A and B are shown apart, each in its own frame.
Chain A
Amino acid sequence: MKQMICIVCPKGCHLTVTPSGDTFKVSGNECPRGEKYAIEEMTCPKRMVPSTVRIEGGLLHRLPVITDQPIEKKYIGDLMKALNGVTVKAPIQQGEIILENIFDTKVNIVASRSMM
């Protein structure tokens, strides 16, 4: 049995996870997303990763970017390194894909904002 706090939304439900055969039994969650989170946290934990990349010709020198869905925790370090090598050119639209299907995870890195 493992106690954890759901981080899917700011509510922070206190979850209890018990192994049950091949999978896990989750309690304490107020919504189905909590159950999914808990099982994922036990099997392959994932996180949203916000960061920036260099941008040329824009209002600022950095463009904020974020994973379009949670990425496996084990990739976070490599993701940060990969972002260090990215330079985009303005204009950029919010939601534009900056890095596609990174590490074959189906996760895209997208622009958090538009920048002229």
Chain B
Amino acid sequence: MSAYDLVVIGGGPAGLAAAVEAYDNGVESILIIERDRELGGILMQCIHNGFGLHHFKEELTGPAYAERFINMLKAKGIDYKIDTMVAEMTKDKRIKTMSATDGITWVQAKAIILAMGCRERTRGAISIPGSRPAGVFTAGTAQRYINMEGYMVGERVFILGSGDIGLIMARRMTLEGAKVLGVAEIMPHSNGLTRNIVQCLDDFEIPLYLSHTIVEIRGKDRLSGITIAQVDEKMQPIEGTEKVIECDTLLLSVGLIPENEISRALGVVIDPRTKGPLVNQYMETSLEGVFACGNVVHVHDLVDYVTEESIRAGRNAAAFIKGRQFKAVETYTMTAPGEGIGYIVPQEICEQSTDDTVTLLFRVKKTYKNARINVLGDGEKIKSIKKLHLAPSEMERVDLKLEKAYQQLTVEVEA
């Protein structure tokens, strides 16, 4: 069995940034385990620009963003294994890996960082009725076929979901010669960046159907068409608003879910709200010395935010390896989503000095205009921020210095 101070599960943006940061904090014995054939994760198929404005202060493509970290990793001589799957982890931090080249191996770690990212929600997750033909893809799968494998997935395309992946794919498919017939969004507003609406839809006169969903999928072998319909406030289709669209391809961009099967098997406590591990402000999970960062914890809007969170995980994992025990404290503060808040990360704050800043990341449940975000410590208002605009698609943050130890921190929206 080989041994490393730190084993990072996943070589996407989260794992790369965490490993590099841990190294810079004095931990040199690091192994990254990646299941794909190269490092970089999903960034490698996100060939559009728009990454890195916060972290690098310039605008990069996904592969270029990943490459910066891969180069740092290689310059530092950090070990990594590609085409390798983590089959099992134990509470005493032994990790079973499998690969065609090395067979089964066990690695002993002092600390683990979970950085497995997320997966796309599928047709089944939203139960779209109808037949089950070929031609229904998640947007990310289609993106991989087109950008990495070099194959088109269809000619007449409809897209469900106006998140950024859906919008980006509308442009990509159009530029590659497909006819994109429209994008439907069940919410009354788009979930994507406005600039993507402009440069991915408006530029090509692709209609955006807000408050619409797909009520039927048709076709025996290959998709032959769909029916869309307007929805009411309860997201239920309104009879009589059906519109038939003939298409051979449907892309689904209907959300992402943190990928936590191996974390669950390990016994890490999962927050049902985020579907990711419950973490403290050090990005440490319920298991001491097991950290987590990036989309495996909660789905982020921008890779820059993933990087920021992963740097925190890497730095703290390094501190843990050098002997700091984050959980050896007297008091904990729990965070609790109040009115209008979907989730908060971290879910738990370990007692700390009053100089330290705690960052709370959260999402609202619906859109608000001219609202306030209040933070309450055991019911007492300790911070209040005015917000012109709040939307579920945008992650919000509050930086706090805690003057005293509260039992519970509640974040709420005051409409």
**Direct contact, A vs B (beta carbon within 8 Å):** yes
Interface string of B80-124 (1 = CB under 8 A from A): 000000000000000000000000000000000000000000000
B63 touches A52 (CB 8 A): no
B194 touches A5 (CB 8 A): yes
Question: Looking across the interface, which residue of chain A has its beta carbon closest to that of B63?
Answer: A113
Closest Cβ of chain A to B167, distance in Å, is 12
Question: Looking across the interface, which residue of chain B has its beta carbon closest to that of A10?
Answer: B193
In the complex, whether B361 has a CB less than 8 A from a CB of chain A is no
**For chain B, what secondary structure do more than half of its interface residues adopt (helix, strand, loop), or is it mixed?**
helix
Assuming A60-B149, A64-B63, A113-B63, is B199 touching A9 (CB within 8 A)?
no
Complex Cα distance, B176 from A72, in Å, reads 18
Task: Name the contact of A12 in the complex, choosing from B63, B66, B147, B195 (C-beta under 8 A).
Answer: B195
Task: Name the contact of B195 in the complex, choosing from A6, A52, A61, A62 (C-beta under 8 A).
Answer: A6
Instruction: Determine the chain A residues whose CB is within 8 A of the CB of B49 once the complex forms.
Output: 48, 50, 66
In the complex, whether B128 has a CB less than 8 A from a CB of chain A is no
Closest Cβ of chain A to B172, distance in Å, is 8
Give the A-B contact count at a CB cut-off of 8 A.
76
Question: Looking across the interface, which residue of chain A has its beta carbon closest to that of B150?
Answer: A62
Instruction: Determine the chain A residues whose CB is within 8 A of the CB of B302 once the complex forms.
Output: 10
In the complex, whether B59 has a CB less than 8 A from a CB of chain A is yes
Instruction: Determine the chain B residues whose CB is within 8 A of the CB of A12 once the complex forms.
Output: 193-195
Complex Cα distance, B150 from A48, in Å, reads 21
Question: Looking across the interface, which residue of chain A has its beta carbon closest to that of B148?
Answer: A60
A113 touches B67 (CB 8 A): yes
Complex Cα distance, B59 from A6, in Å, reads 15
Closest Cβ of chain B to A16, distance in Å, is 15
Closest Cβ of chain B to A30, distance in Å, is 13
In the complex, whether B64 has a CB less than 8 A from a CB of chain A is yes
B64 touches A112 (CB 8 A): yes
Assuming A5-B198, A80-B175, is B59 touching A64 (CB within 8 A)?
no
Instruction: Determine the chain B residues whose CB is within 8 A of the CB of A10 once the complex forms.
Output: 50, 53, 193, 195, 302
In the complex, whether A42 has a CB less than 8 A from a CB of chain B is no
In the complex, whether A101 has a CB less than 8 A from a CB of chain B is no
Complex Cα distance, B64 from A64, in Å, reads 10
Please tell me the number of chain A residues within 8 Å of chain B, measured between CB atoms: 28
Question: Looking across the interface, which residue of chain B has its beta carbon closest to that of A94?
Answer: B67
Complex Cα distance, B50 from A9, in Å, reads 7
Closest Cβ of chain A to B199, distance in Å, is 5
B198 touches A114 (CB 8 A): no
Task: Name the contact of A5 in the complex, choosing from B38, B47, B146, B195 (C-beta under 8 A).
Answer: B195
B175 touches A59 (CB 8 A): no
A52 touches B193 (CB 8 A): no
A113 touches B64 (CB 8 A): yes
B148 touches A62 (CB 8 A): yes
Instruction: Determine the chain A residues whose CB is within 8 A of the CB of B47 once the complex forms.
Output: 50-52, 64, 66, 112
Assuming A64-B61, A80-B175, is B67 touching A9 (CB within 8 A)?
no
Assuming A62-B147, A62-B150, is B175 touching A49 (CB within 8 A)?
yes
Complex Cα distance, B50 from A12, in Å, reads 12
Task: Name the contact of B198 in the complex, choosing from A7, A59, A80 (C-beta under 8 A).
Answer: A7
Additional A-B contact list (20), CB under 8 Å, known A9-B59, A64-B147, A94-B63? A5-B194, A5-B195, A5-B198, A8-B195, A10-B53, A10-B195, A12-B195, A50-B48, A51-B47, A52-B147, A54-B150, A62-B148, A64-B63, A80-B176, A80-B177, A94-B67, A112-B63, A112-B64, A113-B44, A113-B64
Lowest 6 A-B CB distances belong to which pairs? A12-B194, A113-B63, A7-B195, A64-B47, A62-B150, A112-B61
